[in-house]
Structure 1
């Protein structure tokens, strides 16, 4: 039903009746919540009837008694909640909000540990990385592998690092074969053991070990032991 046209001379009278709980369309009432009657019987919304009669949208159409009881109930609930929180605080107990926060933190910790235990093959990680690069969201891709977006991000990051660095450790892998002549040539060419190790794709310890074979460096383990002995001397800070 559409909103009827109210004669201008009757608007003040109808407005006062509506605020008193009387229906301006059929005249029934007074109602405790006249807006419910207008909406159910006449299919007119509260905002429409307010606008037609010049009543502010923020003005309540409930009866004064109902508004008074609602205020009293709200105040009672507020005081009861404050007293409960204070009592729990005195007893050293946590509030319901704190308990919910702890439960959520425990849930996230369990998800992280599940992500750590869940194994993904390199092919699966590569497929997930390709989907991410194509524009899919981490959350959507992670859902296909039953893990969190954070867990998938860390898994892809570690996979990219292992595939990009030839010196990364892989189970069962052996050190890259390299000769003393190759080490000497790389050091002479690049000027330092670090640059030579990066150019040859090996660790600096392997460079040091090859140079130690010809007496040009201290073996890695011996150099470490000498540093520790020097640091443990009394009076050295």
Structure 2
């Protein structure tokens, strides 16, 4: 039977070659950035409900509204970042990361004001997923010789962040920090990521590897 895909070129990548490509320092830093940003995202997202009911002072019926606002922001962030991530990834990660860090701090301080809190939740959803999706794409570009494992490692790094972030937020609450404390933890995690950004400027220049054919 003729192979309908015979005319399509697929790059051959051995397991050994992909593992060797994963030693790329730029990729490792990007994976670290992704874990930190995603950890910050889920640190606050996990405790949004008690933040709304205990700090903002709203009833439980408002919790789905706040979660929906965060989700709408996330959708918008991915859509907007998708338009510019290849051309200006450094700007998205650098400027977006600074705005993200400041936004978490503003939410921690202003969570008691419903209108301000709602606006910041929407904005933080957009910034979190805009920066996060850009980091995923750049992690793939940083290891064009490992298209399979680079994607798997990027997913694993984000999952590590999604697991550790809520744990850190819970530890902050248990230590007596209150329900604002996970938001401060989120700000701290993004601040650490911002310190690491200059270490990997070359990987954030934006490029689309021509070797990626399907």
- Larger Cα Rg: Structure 1 or Structure 2? 1
Structure richer in helix, relative to its length: 2
Highest RCO, 1 vs 2 (Cα 8 Å, sep ≥ 6) = 2
Give me the TM-score of the superposition, normalised by structure 1: 0.20
Give me the TM-score of the superposition, normalised by structure 2: 0.21
